[in-house]
Structures are given as C-alpha cells and as structure tokens.
Structure 1
Amino acid sequence: MHTITPTTSTAHASHAAPDTTTIVIADDHPLIRAGMVSLLQSEGSFTLLGQACDGEQAVELYQRLQPDVLLLDLSMPHCDGIEATTRIHALYPQARIIIMSAHEGDEVVYRCMQAGASAYLLKNAPFDELLATIASVLKGRKVVTPQMAAKLATRVHGSDLSIREREILVHLATGACNKTIARAAGIGVGTVKFHINNILSKLNAATRTEAVMLASRRGLLGLH
C-alpha cells in the first residue's frame, strides 16, 4: 500500500510500507507532480512520503523525512535544484538525489553532478528509464545518459568563465552593444572588449553571435 502525503506532510520514513523505496518529489508544477505520483503508484514498489513545490520545501522535507530517493526538479522558485542539492548534500553526503529537467546543456549537467546529485534525467525520458535510474542510484551509482556523458567528457569548462564574463555574456544575448554593456556593468568599453575576447576564446567561438548560441545550447545563460 502506498502512503500519499500532501506538501505539508508530517509523515516519516518509518511509516513506509515494508520492502518499498521511499520517495519525496519536488516540482513546482502540480500536474507533473500528480503524474509522477500516479506512475509511481502504478509500480507498486514505492512509498511516497511527501511532495514539495519549491526548493526550500524540498530541503525541509528531505531533512524531516530522509527518503531513500529525492526526485528534484531543476528549475524551481526560491531555491533551484542545484542549490537545494548542494544544501542537502552538505548535510547528508549519502543522499540519493535525481535531478529532472528539460535542459540538455553540459554545463547544467556538470553543475548538478558537482553539487552532489546522483543522477540527471531528462523529463521526457520513458518511465522505465526513471525506474532504472532509481534502481542504479540505490546501488550507489552515478547516472547520466550516454549522450550527456559524451558531452561532459569533451566539455570546455563553463566554470572557467568569471562572474563578470557570465554577466557580459547575458548582455550579449540581448544584443546589447559594447557601450550599453559598459554602462550597465559600470566598466569601461575597453574592459568590455577585453572580457568579450576572453569569452570568445574560452567558448571557442569566432563571433559574439556564435558565443551566445554555444552558451545557450550548453545552458550557460541560465546559470549565475
């Protein structure tokens, strides 16, 4: 029998049905949470301890319920999946966290795994793939798709971009000229040009447009 609890649940893992895997789901979209609950219920081997609608609640629920697995959305209000994972992993290094997202950029995947995630899974993955991922992380394995693993193996470190370069990259994505960027960033036009040249070099891009395209594809524009 499954234990389905609301976001404000006070249930504890000790209330789980015998021989089931305890789960907490965190996603800010109610329909997605409901769909995952339905799928997990149909499987018969999971006990859902609680649901969270943002990252802050995910951290709080994990601390209180300590499930076997946390299914965590990447993009959530207040505290995103990377921050939530970092905070949970700092307190519980053995936490098994599966981050689920629609983003395929290698920088996003890299940062999730560096934060302590056990797996990174695309939201359009088949349910069987989710089940296999859960089974793997329960055995202590790290899981990413072969395609993502290949990207990670050949990635140019987006983390090599400085905070200022990331800021200027976002301005470039809006089509801003150097003078506009300089005014917004509070630096000189010459300094802007210096940073742009560094960005092009680090991303192996020939033009500003190509740099923005590569950064968008890899998920760099959404990371701060």
Structure 2
Amino acid sequence: MAKTDRKTTLYIAEDHVAIRDLLARHLELTGSFDVVGMAADGEPIVDDCTRLKPDVLLLDLSLPKRTGLEVLRDLRTSNLPTKVMVFSSHNDSAIVREVVEAGALGMVEKTAPFDELETGLIAVAAGRAHFGAAVIQALQQGLQKHAEVKGASALTQREREVLGHVAAGRFNKEIADLLGVSVKTVENHRHNLMSKLDAGNAADLTRIAFKLGLVVHD
C-alpha cells in the first residue's frame, strides 16, 4: 500500500492572538499539520468542529464565553470524531482529572517544549493518548489508586499491563514487543478491555487506567 502524505487537520482554540498565530504558523511549517480553523473563545468551537471535522482540536482551557472544559463536555455529548489535545498552563490535579473525565485524549503544559506538543498532536491524531510528565504526576496525585471501577475486578494481570501501556500512548506493536507477545494478542486484549470496562474509545481506557493507578510515564 502506498504511503499517504495526508496532513493532520487541526483546529486551534486559544484566546491570545499572538500564541494562536504562532502555534498555527509553526505547526504548519512542520509539514505534518493543516490548520483548518481557529477560535478566540469557546462559543463557535463545537459548531466549527461539526462543520470542519478536524482530526484534532488543540484546546486552551481558559477561554472566554465557554471554557475549555465546557467545550470538552459538549464535544463528548455530540459524538464528534474530532480528538482533543488540551494545551494549558493549568496542571493542578483537580483540573487535570476533569480534563480526562471530559474525554480529552491528551494534555500538554504550555511550558512544554514545542517538540513535545508536536509529538503529542501526532499521537492523539492516531488515537493514542499523550499526557506530559507533569500532567501525569498531577493526575496520579489527585486520583485514588485502585479506585473502584466497574469491571476492573474481572481484568487479568496481562490485561492490566496492556491497559497501562495503552494509556501511555504506545502502539500495539510497541506493546507486543514489550510484553513478548504477538500484535494479534495485544489487539485481543484491547478488545477484551473495551468490553469488560464498557469503554467506547482510547480516551475512556486512559481515564480508567489513571483511576486504577496503572499509568507509568517513561
């Protein structure tokens, strides 16, 4: 099969004009992204994402009119295919927990290097979780490990291992190599995890993995 050169389509929601324009310019210069829309407040985002169907929404939390968390919750109830990467200066455990609960697949601090943001956006576009080291630390401090999760008691030890790797954003091939099993076996484990935990997507699995204390950052 021929390799596709399709760029990841991106929508940027950031209320500071200079930051928004700088992000758009630098991300498009990488050659991996096509910025299809931007917003300075939270009001038009859901309608724009419904119309434009970007692969990823890069979302600041501190938006006027409608906050980033409100937008996240609206997107989740709208069942749009757009995946969300939160880009924010907020990293206290309560806010990070809300971000994960609301369905974001990734979160990177604004103080993170640009390379980390780029890597995270690529991961999220591919349906893999990506949370910065500081974000993971804050989240693990704020969540009670081994919290009660429906279906968790039915998980095997190997399924728990796979769940942790999924939440860490690893590809099936990476997980297979780490565990010494086939890719097909990892795919079967993921299918079982989705069924046992009543998870609809990778964001749901990530949220549950954090609740169970299974995520370890490299």
What TM-score does the superposition give when structure 2 sets the normalisation length?
0.60
Deviation at residue 74 of structure 1 after TM alignment: 0.5
CA distance in 1, matches of 2:117, 2:10: 13
* SS of equivalent residue, structure 2 residue 37: strand
CA distance in 2, matches of 1:115, 1:95: 14
Equivalent positions of 1:34-113 (< 5 A) are 34-92=21-79, 94-113=81-100
* SS of equivalent residue, structure 2 residue 59: strand
Contact persistence 2:108–2:135 (CA under 8 A): no
Contact persistence 2:55–2:81 (CA under 8 A): no
* SS of equivalent residue, structure 2 residue 71: helix
CA distance in 1, matches of 2:59, 2:135: 18
CA distance in 1, matches of 2:77, 2:129: 17
Q: Which letter maps to 1:126? A: P
Q: What stretches of structure 1 of length at least 5 have no aligned partner?
A: 1-16, 158-224
1:149 to 136, 147, 152: 136
* SS of equivalent residue, structure 2 residue 130: coil
Distance 1:147 1:48, change over 3 A: closer
Deviation at residue 138 of structure 1 after TM alignment: 2.0
Contact persistence 2:105–2:130 (CA under 8 A): yes
Q: What stretches of structure 2 of length at least 5 have no aligned partner?
A: 145-218
CA distance in 1, matches of 2:25, 2:97: 30
1:140 corresponding residue in structure 2: 127
Identity of aligned residues (%): 35
Deviation at residue 61 of structure 1 after TM alignment: 1.1
Residues 97-139 of structure 1 show CA distances to partners (whole Å, capped at 9, x for unaligned) of: 0111111101111101111111111112111101110121122
Moved more, 139-148 or 112-121: 139-148
State the number of aligned residues: 141
Residues 142-193 of structure 1 show CA distances to partners (whole Å, capped at 9, x for unaligned) of: 2222333233223267xxxxxxxxxxxxxxxxxxxxxxxxxxxxxxxxxxxx
CA distance in 2, matches of 1:115, 1:97: 10
CA distance in 1, matches of 2:136, 2:12: 25
CA distance in 2, matches of 1:154, 1:33: 31
Contact persistence 2:42–2:65 (CA under 8 A): yes
* SS of equivalent residue, structure 1 residue 44: coil
CA distance in 2, matches of 1:102, 1:151: 13
* SS of equivalent residue, structure 1 residue 110: helix
